Amino acid sequence: MKIRFGKIVWILFSGFCIPNAFAQNYTADVTATDAVGRKLPDHAEVGDLKKDKFVGLFYWTWHTQQAKNNPPLNVTEYLARDPKAVHDYKNPIWPKRNSPWFWAEPLFGYYIDTDEWVLRKHAEMLADAGVDMIIFDCTNGNITWKESYMKLCEVFTQARKDDVKTPQIAFMLPFWVDDGGKEIIREIYRDLYKPGKYKDLWFQWKGKPFIMADPAFTETIKGQSAQPELEKEMREFFTFRPGQPVYNKGPEKADHWGWLEIYPQHGFKKNADGSFEQATVGVAQNWTKERGLTALNATGSFGRSYTHAKGHITDAGAVNYGHNFQEQWDRAREINPELVFITGWNEWIAGRYEVWQQQTNAFPDEFDQEGSRDIEPMKGGHGDNYYYQMAANIRRFKGLPAPQPASTAATMKMDGQFKEWEDILPVFKAHKGSTLHRNSPGWGSMVYRNTTGRNDIVLSKVARDQDHIYFYVETAQPLSPTTDPGWMRLFVNTDRDKNTGWEGYDFVINRLNPAQKAILEKTDAAWNWQKAGEVEYSVSGNKLEIKVPKSLLGISGEPDFEFKWSDHMQNDGDVMDFWLNGDAAPSGRGNYHYQP
């Protein structure tokens, strides 16, 4: 695998106009608190949605072809055998094979980019976070990873049919004009753009499909006959923005866009009014004060816990907080461009080289938890912290749609007719189609299967009267039997405090399967539940309603709480299970917020 220090980044767009382009769960009605206690900002904090602000994300489609012949080698696991091998290329712990190296295991495993289950997860996660566009890394040689991007387009198209507002797509080509890049633009134009495939997914910028590339890539390939009509056609088809590979110089061309910079980042492509089209935000940078560009395993490299203001933050657990990432976001918001370009989502791998940019045994772009720049959740470690940190900062940058108003007080009959629910607001939506089963190869000999998807939760509602809180949930198909394991659990965080209860949830209904009545349980801490009472419920077809006395929930007066539906949880007491198994509404650590 060829690694260059200039990687592709995904782009935000202004001038982009596709109706209803925002994620259905990019909403003030959903909140979350991450593992270190940071709660997503709400509408009162970030203000109304800004129509002229966009976010793009660097996305890697290369986990396919090279995965077929290589096992998932993990740097962190190998260095646990001998930490002194970090700078020793010839240390015997290192295999002789020339394979890519993972810095850690992704939460979804060592997946390949044609795994429909993973692609669907990405579609939903990025939609919920408010990501408007992903840009594919085609900066190396002449490789487009066609198999991967076409499968992604297929899965994203189906997700949109299910009302998931997925990001748009674009490509980033090499930073220097060469024949490999000329082959790439011709291939993607021939295979995707000219025939109009997946046109609804194309990221439009300034009225044309966007490509992060120099227009000189349309020129004749060395040794081949000129094709003036094709070259003119491509030049007129795209909006071009050449990528600036360097981390510390800002734009050196009037139309340059950046992909990754050290702090303080620059604004790129100045507009007539003095504002900027684009600025970058990075999680980490393979750079040191002494060397400049270098590998991420170099001593002093600008990892996740480095900041310009404080240097390397060495507090215990610092890597969980994304100090570098936050400083970069704060700077980007000062620049206030049309589009913020984030590096990155799911790179995960790097080559290993005897010497690269003055570093021996070099891992240029990814190394370990500190020396890495992926936002996609990892297995263990910081988990999904960076995902929610990204989501929080996107909210601060773009604002939020106003929360839905709540209906006036109403009493619901537990009669299985559900008529009273028809006009109740808010409507808390969840992604249809999120119970897709998984059956895909991974890297090397890995195989991933998951058949836990069962009841596909699509919406829920809450109502209240003087003495009761009422919950309603609806699924895409008729509900499975109430005797099924892990059936339709309802978690409630009555005080909105993550430090009380299990992951903030003070009560759960249906942890134990319901009979004539449903069982309400409470906890003071951890996954230790005690019966708090029995409550009425009714289920029919694809609908379920529950009636809970306020007194059992400790609520007096108007309620203000968070809640979540979960079906077919596999690992009780593991909050990350909400990403992996069955269905959760909203997904991950997300909760719906109900406050009349």
Over the stretch 504-554, which tens digit does the pLDDT of each residue have? Answer: 999 999 999 999 999 999 998 899 999 999 999 999 999 999 999 999 999
Asked if the model's pLDDT at residue 80 lies above 50, the reply is: yes
pLDDT digits (tens, 9 = 90+) for 99-139: 999 999 999 999 999 999 999 999 999 999 999 999 999 99
d(CA 581, CA 571): 9
Asked if the model's pLDDT at residue 10 lies above 80, the reply is: no
Amino acid (one-letter) located at 361: N
Is residue 264 reached through a cis peptide bond, with omega within 30 degrees of 0 on the bond before it?
A: yes
The greatest distance separating any two alpha carbons of the chain, rounded to the nearest whole angstrom, comes to 81
Q: 443 burial class (0-12, 13-18, 19+ CB within 10 angstroms)?
A: buried
Amino acid (one-letter) located at 16: F
Q: Which of 217, 208, 270 is nearest to 239 (CA)?
A: 208
Which tokens in the block code for residue 327?
């400083």
Which tokens in the block code for residue 402?
């106003």
pLDDT digits (tens, 9 = 90+) for 244-259: 999 999 999 999 999 9
pTM passes above 0.85: yes
* Per-residue model confidence (pLDDT) at position 65: 86
Cα-Cα-Cα-Cα torsion 243, 245, 247, 248, nearest 10 degrees, comes to -80
Cβ contact 498:33 at 8 Å: yes
pLDDT digits (tens, 9 = 90+) for 406-447: 999 999 999 999 999 999 999 999 999 999 999 999 999 999
* Per-residue model confidence (pLDDT) at position 524: 85
pLDDT digits (tens, 9 = 90+) for 157-182: 999 999 999 999 999 999 999 999 99
DSSP 16-42: ---TT-S-TT-STTEE-B-TTSPBPP-
Q: Which of 213, 268, 238, 188 is nearest to 6 (CA)?
A: 213
Asked if the model's pLDDT at residue 21 lies above 90, the reply is: no
Number of Cβ within a 10 Å radius of residue 245: 20
**Residue written as token pair 């980033």:** 172
* Per-residue model confidence (pLDDT) at position 12: 34
Is residue 478 reached through a cis peptide bond, with omega within 30 degrees of 0 on the bond before it?
A: no
Asked if the model's pLDDT at residue 1 lies above 90, the reply is: no
Start-to-end CA span in the chain (Å): 55
Mean pLDDT for 10-38 is 66
Assign 3-class secondary structure to 175-243.
CCCCHHHHHHHHHHHHHHHCCCCCHHHECEECCEEEEECCHHHHCCCCCCCCCHHHHHHHHHHCEECCE
Asked if the model's pLDDT at residue 9 lies above 60, the reply is: no
d(CA 541, CA 218): 57
Cβ contact 218:234 at 8 Å: yes
* Per-residue model confidence (pLDDT) at position 24: 56
What's the pLDDT band for 2 if we cut at 50, 70, 90? very low
Asked if the model's pLDDT at residue 17 lies above 50, the reply is: no
Which tokens in the block code for residue 247?
């981390």
Asked if the model's pLDDT at residue 6 lies above 90, the reply is: no
d(CA 551, CA 554): 5
Cβ contact 585:565 at 8 Å: yes
Which tokens in the block code for residue 563?
């809640």
Q: What are phi and psi of 14, to 5 degrees?
A: -120, 155
Amino acid (one-letter) located at 236: E
Mean pLDDT for 278-304 is 98
pLDDT digits (tens, 9 = 90+) for 555-582: 999 999 999 999 999 999 999 999 999 9
Residues 6 or more apart from 499 whose CB is under 8 A from it?
A: 37
d(CA 309, CA 312): 9
d(CA 431, CA 130): 15
